[in-house]
Amino acid sequence: MPRQTKQTNTLLGFVDIPIDGEEKPTIEDTFIGGEPLWFDPASPPPKKLLLCKNCDAPMKLLLQSYCPLANSIYDRIIYVFTCTKAQCRRKAGSVRAIRAVKRDPEAMKKNELEIKTEEYDRKQAEEKAKQEKMKTKELAKNIFTSSSKGNSSNPFDSNPFSAPEPKSANPFDALEKNEDEGSESEHKSVEIKAEGYKSLIPRKSTLQKPKGELDISLASFPGFFLYIEDEILDPSKSLDTQLPPGFTPGQLSQQGNSASSGKDIGQSKELEEISKAVDDPTFRHFTEIVSYNPSQVFRYEFGGSPLLYNTKDTISKVFCDSKGRLLDSSHFRIPNAAYHPSGSRVLELQIMPQAIDALESDGSIDILKDGMEWGTILVGSDAEDYAPDSFFDENYIAYVEEWCGVQWEEEVKN
């Protein structure tokens, strides 16, 4: 029986046009490479968050993703940076993730009103459709009741539509009135309905002075905008062969044949390692899922499950049990944040190996010159999107470091 096409809850990012002098990103874009954009140039992250934990050198931007949470009333960005020094390869702290939050009171108030208005309009539309359905059923009932009694009177004399309309309960009625007609009490009523956002605004007494423009220089990879689509697993579009980039089934077949015949005793160590990887169920699953959308460079699902590259490293133990089986998301062991020790983290996004091809596109990248160095980069963020009041500055912007796990490509020793 042929496999069915399936849509998952994951969003995928694909490389679009390059970032250049004519096409520049905005805060609301998601892109790989290029230069980071802060919510405000006067409110960059603390310098220490932009330095490699091994060599203290400034890092390069791998990804910037604008990702406010569903129905959120404030802005939010995830940044991922990497060190490009050879001595820092594969070391913890050479790839770091930062979450930026902007809780501007005026913008939050406006966003909350918009969200509540949209929710009210949706409920009103549902209620109207329900009432229309009930009226239609009542009308039909009256018609058939009158007919069965032989009543020749007009069945519409008792018009079910003549009932007085219920009084509107729209808390935003004052917004729809002409400003000249609006009274002070009406505006106050709307203000009361927008109180929810205030609990998220950091206390003024805790706000810091903005740091001013960043005082270090960050080198950059070539930059590319990403376009975002739903993940569709369409068997008719998947690749027949799920192998690492740059390897073909012919290479593995040749290796197998020469090994079985006893010829070519000095067969490629690299192909031997690749052959072992293909025999790994987790790696096979990884390549199968990627094969449906092979050009994906980014996966996003707040609170989702990872697409693991292997189950042999320490990162996999965060998400799997002792037998390598993926745990339920509620049992992931992503380390808690130092800024929120009583909280918890959820997986939010992954950077995929296809991103490397784009970052290498101008031939100037040293860290990647020998091929794929990482299989995937995973970022886990605070489940409550929490940031301490003391982290915010007077522009209502805060930065926190989030958990970043890297599954490195297995090193092949010739």
Give the pLDDT score at 7: 94
Q: Which of 136-150, 200-214, 363-377 has the lowest mean pLDDT?
A: 363-377
Q: What is the pLDDT of residues 228-280, one digit of tens each?
A: 999 999 988 776 544 555 444 334 334 444 444 444 444 455 555 555 555 68
> 231 and 189 in one domain?
no
CA distance 50 to 65: 16
Residue 414 lies in a domain: no
Higher per-residue pLDDT: 238 or 388: 388
Q: What is the pLDDT of residues 195-223, one digit of tens each?
A: 678 889 999 999 999 989 898 999 999 99
Residue 196 lies in a domain: yes
CA distance 131 to 123: 12
- pLDDT above 90 covers a percentage of the chain that reads 53
> 171 and 27 in one domain?
no
Task: Catalogue the long-range contacts made by 336-344 (C-beta closer than 8 Å, 24 or more residues apart).
Answer: 337/382, 337/400, 337/401, 337/402, 337/403, 339/386, 339/387, 339/388, 339/391, 339/400, 340/382, 340/384, 340/386, 340/388, 343/382, 343/383, 343/384, 343/386, 344/382, 344/383
Which residues span the domain enclosing 114?
107-200
Q: What is the pLDDT of residues 82-106, one digit of tens each?
A: 998 888 888 999 999 999 999 999 9
Largest separation between any pair of C-alpha atoms in the chain: 102
Give the pLDDT score at 261: 41
> 249 and 180 in one domain?
no
Give the pLDDT score at 364: 57
pLDDT at 169 over 70: no
In 3D, which of 273, 350, 351, 344 has the Cα closest to residue 312?
Answer: 273
pLDDT at 334 over 70: yes
> 224 and 91 in one domain?
yes
> 181 and 242 in one domain?
no
Q: Which of 111-120, 204-213, 240-249, 301-310 has the lowest mean pLDDT?
A: 240-249
Give the pLDDT score at 198: 86
Quick one: CA dihedral 95, 351, 36, 9, positive or negative?
A: negative
pTM of the prediction? 0.77
CA distance 215 to 234: 48
For residue 279, how far is the Cα from the chain centroid? 31
> 319 and 239 in one domain?
yes
pLDDT at 158 over 50: no
Number of domains observed in the structure of the chain: 2
pLDDT at 121 over 60: yes
First to last CA, the chain: 44
> 226 and 186 in one domain?
no
Name the residue with tokens 């009432």. 131
> 344 and 275 in one domain?
yes
CA distance 85 to 20: 25
- Residue ending a domain, among 182, 200, 218, is 200
> 94 and 230 in one domain?
yes
> 348 and 273 in one domain?
yes
Higher per-residue pLDDT: 121 or 204: 204
Give the pLDDT score at 342: 93
H helices then E strands: how many in the chain?
Answer: 8, 10
Give the pLDDT score at 101: 97
Give the pLDDT score at 87: 87
> 365 and 285 in one domain?
yes
Mean pLDDT of 61-79: 95
Give the pLDDT score at 310: 93
In 3D, which of 9, 6, 8 has the Cα closest to residue 70?
Answer: 9
Higher per-residue pLDDT: 384 or 121: 384
Residue 50 lies in a domain: yes
DSSP 133-147: HHHHHHHHHHHHHHH
Rounded to the nearest integer, the mean pLDDT of the chain is 80
- Residue ending a domain, among 173, 200, 227, is 200
- Residue ending a domain, among 200, 226, 251, is 200
Phi and psi torsions of 17, nearest 5°: -80, 155
> 12 and 115 in one domain?
no
Q: Are 330 and 382 in contact (CB under 8 A)?
A: no
